[in-house]
Amino acid sequence: MVDSVALFCTAGLLAGALYWFICVLGPAERKGKRASDLSGGSISAEKVRDNYDQYWSFFRRPKEIETAEKVPDFVDTFYNLVTDIYEWGWGQSFHFSPHIPGKSDKDATRIHEEMAVDLINVKPGQKILDAGCGVGGPMRAIAAHSKAQVTGITINEYQVQRANLHNKKAGLDSLCNVVCGNFLKMPFEENTFEGAYSIEATCHAPKLEEVYSEIFRVMKPGTLFVSYEWVTTEKYRDDDEEHKDVIQGIERGDALPGLRSYKDIAATAMKVGFEVVKEKDLAKPPSKPWWNRLKMGRLAYWRNHVVVVILSALGVAPKGTVDVHDMLFKTADYLTRGGETGIFSPMHMILCRKPEKASE
């Protein structure tokens, strides 16, 4: 009798713990994705592991990629694999922001996003472009703040579905619209937008010149474009094996075909015709460390990994989800090391203007 009671109590405790892990601690945002809803995006559940293996093989040595034309397809695969995990474990804004004492991570993220639209001086009702919009977290903050009409583009069809769903839930679908497409060949006419921004997204382009050229093409003359770029800083040394290991770890775990040097950003912008108005690394002091959220979230990552392992074993999450989460867990460590050593920044800001009259 005693053994039966003990067994019953143990089972009850395990069930309660599982519920607490998944339902109470699971979602990053109370209105966001739950652990029990993790999927492979547009990839069918039975093909998640195969797609992960193909992705990992392609991005194993990012700077040695020879078939650059395949990069967009593998970036699409990457976001099918990670979008649900990002939403569940991080939130709807797939980017970093400086830590602001006294502010929540959510508020710090929103302030970082609002700064982008403030820099391009748009007015209510004007049409602006979000190049690489993800599931639209920045888009919604920017639309609510500026009342501009925001059109986002993402290469991933699943993200389009998620973004439009979130836009409707937030009551911002009249201001926000998302289309599926490659920002290297956008389905927009020349001189369409009265401003543009990109938040930590153009790093996925094999050549920065190609995406900047497209953004330049679809902007109206005299308008502004701001981008937060992922770069190696002046502290990075290519002859330092630890530096190279950290950067390659970031590239491999974030679908990047080779990180660019901070020195390349303005030069590329001017090459395609932009006038550079301002350039600044927003990660440098007096900004507080952007990687604090990663360090403080180590317990959450471990907890989430346990949840993913359990759900995968139960058949709730697709096979391969554990591999994807493990990759992201390790990438978080590389990102933290990049931030702490100062060799990497995810927020090198460049503000550009398309001239009123393009040069002949």
359 band by pLDDT with thresholds 50, 70 and 90:
low
29 band by pLDDT with thresholds 50, 70 and 90:
very low
Q: What number is the average pLDDT over the span 195-211? A: 97
Percent of the chain residues topping a pLDDT of 70:
88
Phi, psi for 320 (deg, rounded to 5): 105, -20
Residues in CB range of 183: below 8 A, 6 or more apart? 131, 132, 153, 155, 201, 202, 205, 211, 214, 215
pLDDT in the model for residue 283: 96
Q: Three-state SS across 16-30?
A: HHHHHHHHHCCCCCC
- Beta strands (DSSP E) in 212-259 are 224-232
Which of the 8 DSSP states describes residue 97?
Answer: -
Model pLDDT for residues 282-324, shown as the tens digit of each residue: 999 999 999 999 987 677 778 888 888 898 888 888 889 999 9
Model pLDDT for residues 148-174, shown as the tens digit of each residue: 999 999 999 999 999 999 999 999 999
34 band by pLDDT with thresholds 50, 70 and 90:
confident
DSSP β-bridge partners for residue 130: 152, 197
Out of 11-25, 50-64, 95-109, 140-154, give the one with best mean pLDDT: 140-154
- Beta strands (DSSP E) in the chain are 127-131, 149-154, 176-180, 196-199, 224-232, 260-261, 275-281, 344-353
7 band by pLDDT with thresholds 50, 70 and 90:
low
Helix (H, G, I), strand (E, B) or coil at 47: helix
Q: What number is the average pLDDT over the span 13-26? A: 52
